[in-house]
Amino acid sequence: MRELIAVEHLSFSYPDGQQALSNVSLGIYEGDSVAIVGPNGAGKSTLVLHFNGILRSNGHVKLMGRPIDDNNLKWVRNRVGLVFQNPDDQLFSPTVFDDVAFGPMNMGYSRFEVERAVERALGLVGMSGFEKRSPHHLSIGEKRRVAIATVLSMAPEVLVIDEPTSNLDPRGKRDLVDVLMGLSITKIIISHDIELVKELCPRMVIIDQGMIVADGNTTNILADKKLLTAHGLATM
């Protein structure tokens, strides 16, 4: 199985001196659906922000064998799509079409290629027909699916999603889970939603205090109550 993302002995501290990651090593493989779980402040978001170069790793993170650095940042961001927890951070255009088209247009796609990319991405998230709608008038669940489409329009190899079901009602959550289940792309999902993790992610990684404390089969990890309790996850 092809390794897409390789993290080797990654440590990271913020400018105020707070250590967010300590000697983290992790491999993400083609076709993986991985949940990254841990208490608040554990380092989950800090870790995934290294995957597309928002945070830098000084060579400790590689994508398909290439270090993530200034020389290949555009290449990296075309292949690792990041969906933020708040969809309003990604939706800023007058229409859904414009938001989803933004990435392909900036890549220099032709008008025909842009339209095809938008059509495909919206179809994948069940939002076909919403092209002319204002994203600001959509429900939170619809916004989240459009935010995912803005990433899928670039045809990335890896999709990273931060807390995809937060603030969703049961119908919105079900719709989003169905969308994510239908995507054949490699997925990395940060989530506290254990039902989502069980349904979507055969592999689970627990991070606590900036360190990976478990990495394995989701069912096996969730059965280890002692482990979950030790890392503040027992309520899951």
pLDDT tens by residue, 148-165:
999 999 999 999 999 999
The answer to the question of residue 135 being in a domain is no
**Which DSSP symbol is given to 124?**
H
The answer to the question of residue 166 being in a domain is no
Determine the pLDDT at residue 54: 93
Each residue's pLDDT tens digit, 161-212: 999 998 899 999 999 999 999 999 999 999 988 889 999 999 999 999 999 9
Domain count along the chain: 1
All residues at 6 or more sequence positions from 66 whose CB lies less than 8 Å from its CB, including other chains: 72, 75, 76
User: What is the rounded CA–CA span in Å between residue 49 and residue 108?
Assistant: 25
The answer to the question of residue 145 being in a domain is no
The answer to the question of residue 141 being in a domain is no
The answer to the question of residue 116 being in a domain is no
- Token pair belonging to 169: 């009602």
The answer to the question of residue 111 being in a domain is no
The answer to the question of residue 19 being in a domain is yes
With b meaning 16 or more CB within 10 Å and e meaning fewer, what string describes 100-136?
Answer: bbbbbbeeebeeeebeebbeebbebbbbeebbebebe
Determine the pLDDT at residue 59: 83
| Domain encompassing residue 32 | 1-82+186-236
Which segments of the chain have a pLDDT < 70?
235-236
CATH number of the domain where residue 215 is located: 3.40.50.300
The answer to the question of residue 127 being in a domain is no
Prediction pTM value: 0.93
